[in-house]
Every structure is written in structure tokens, then in C-alpha cells.
Amino acid sequence: MEKSEVSLPTHGIVIAATPLGNPADASPRLIAGLENADVVAAEDTRRVRSLAASLGVEIRGKVVSNFDHNEDSRTSDLIAAARTGLVLVVSDAGMPVVSDPGHSLVSAAHDAGIPVTCFPGPSAVPTALALSGLNVGHFIFDGFAPRKQGARQTWLESLVGEKRAVCFFESPHRTAQTLEHAAEVLGGERRAAVCRELTKTYEEVRRGTLPELAAWAADGVRGEVSIVIEGGTGPAVEPADLVGLVLAREEAGMRLKDAAKEVAREHGVKVSSLYDEALAAKKQK
């Protein structure tokens, strides 16, 4: 399709997906939008100019930055521009709003009655899910994994009984630690896939159990990383039903917390819930 054949809105907000790494994934509407939009609001202005150059496109409109730390202050100006002209919103790669800037502007545009549409295209989430080779018929997306260990522990415990697959992003520097932590909480049989550098020259998908992937990642992981963890079977029992096992192991010499952790992982329930139940039962005795 020739660029001249692409129909563009006369005004409003357009959320446009950009290639994850391979410029050939750019849609004809994205190309036309970059060339003809009155304003291009980009997460990184240098990246969008580089993308345009690789596509052989000249950006004729005004290019402004629109990233996490200035998005709220930028919104009113972009809304004003969208009343009479076309504002194209792009992130560094993939779909804006999905763990990227865009939400504040889209929400404000709806509130103001400004037309909002989307030029669909690449997104790391469905790409990773499709490549994972896991059961992903039902899934959730959790953005970036929590950085702090306590928050990550709580998040992973919430996935113990989650029957849907979960997809999330992770820094390459924390991938090994997160996989190791996930293996501890979710168990050694839970399968996952690590997808890195999607659509790029060194694209790689590693699938296996969480311990296997943690061992592989221990040598270091490079590039942008998306992880998919297969859903669990759900807890077969309630934490209260397992209190006796925990107390028995404590009487055999284990610390209560260690006993709760071990039993919880064997039976697929939250460690914190089981520990609280066991502690309450012990106090009652």
C-alpha cells in the first residue's frame, strides 16, 4: 500500500505501536502518521527520529518528548493540539500505555471529548506469549516485576494459585534473581519461558522449569526481557488444613517459619497465609 493511500484522522489522539526492533514491522499507518502528524509525542525524541530515518520518512510536524516524568505536565498542551490537529503518540518500542507513557493523555482525551484511536502493531506481550510454547489461552500481564524482595515475595505468592499464565517484563540484571525467587515460591515444577530481544537479530526464547531457567540465567542475560510463567493448578487445600503438618515439623526440630515455607510449597498455598494460620494455632495452644 502506498503512503498516499493511507487515510488519517484530521485531528485527535492516535496511539501508535512502533517496531520492537525490526523496522520492517512498522505498519503503513504508522509510517503515514509519522510523516503527516501535526505533533509527534515520543517517549524518546532521538529514538523516534532514528526510526523515521530507518523507514525513509521525514517527520514534518513538531516532535515533543512525552515520558514518565513529564507526561502529566505535557497533557494539557497535547490535548489543545489535538482539538484541531493530529497528535501521534509513540513509545520507544511496542504499544504505548502498556507499561509505557500514554495513559494520562488517553484518559484526559476521553474526558475532554477528543477523538482517540489506535494504529495497532507490535507489542512484546502477545509476541512473548505466542513464542513461549506454554498454555497461554488465559493470561494476565503484570508489567515489571517488583524490584524489592519483600514486594516481589508478596507478588509471587499471589501467583501460587493463579491458574492463568502471567507475562511480565524484567531487567536483564535482575532476571536470574527473579527466576530463582520464583522457583522458591512457585515450586520446581512450574514451567516458564524467557523471551529476550524479540524480533531483533539475537532473539532468543528459553523454555523450561523455573529452576532450569534460573540456572541458565545465572551466567548473565542481555537485552530486553519478557518472561511468561505458566499458570498453576490452584491450591488443592486451604492453609488451615495444613497447620497440623507445619506444627508437626516444628516439633521435629524445624523453625516454624521454615516449616510453613516448606509445607506451603509442597501443597501450592501462600507461605504467608499458612504461617499466619500456624502461628495463630500455636498461640491458642
pLDDT per residue as tens digits for the range 121-152: 999 999 999 999 999 999 999 999 999 999 99
Q: Residue ranges of the domains in the chain?
A: 3-122, 125-229, 239-284
Residue 4 pLDDT greater than 60, yes or no:
no
The rounded distance, in Å, linking the Cα atoms of 260 and 273 is: 9
Please give the CATH topology (third level) of the domain spanning 125-229: 3.30.950
Q: Which three three-digit cell numbers place residue 81?
A: 493540539
Is 125-229 in the same CATH topology as 3-122?
no
pLDDT of residue 239: 87
Backbone angles phi, psi at 60, to 5 degrees: -90, -25
Mind listing the pLDDT tens digit for each residue in 20-46? 999 999 999 999 999 999 999 999 999
The rounded distance, in Å, linking the Cα atoms of 41 and 63 is: 6
Is the Cβ–Cβ distance between 145 and 172 less than 8 Å?
no
pTM (2 d.p.):
0.82
pLDDT of residue 236: 60
Among the CATH numbers 3.40.1010.10, 3.30.160.100, 3.20.20.80, 3.40.718.10, which is that of 3-122?
3.40.1010.10
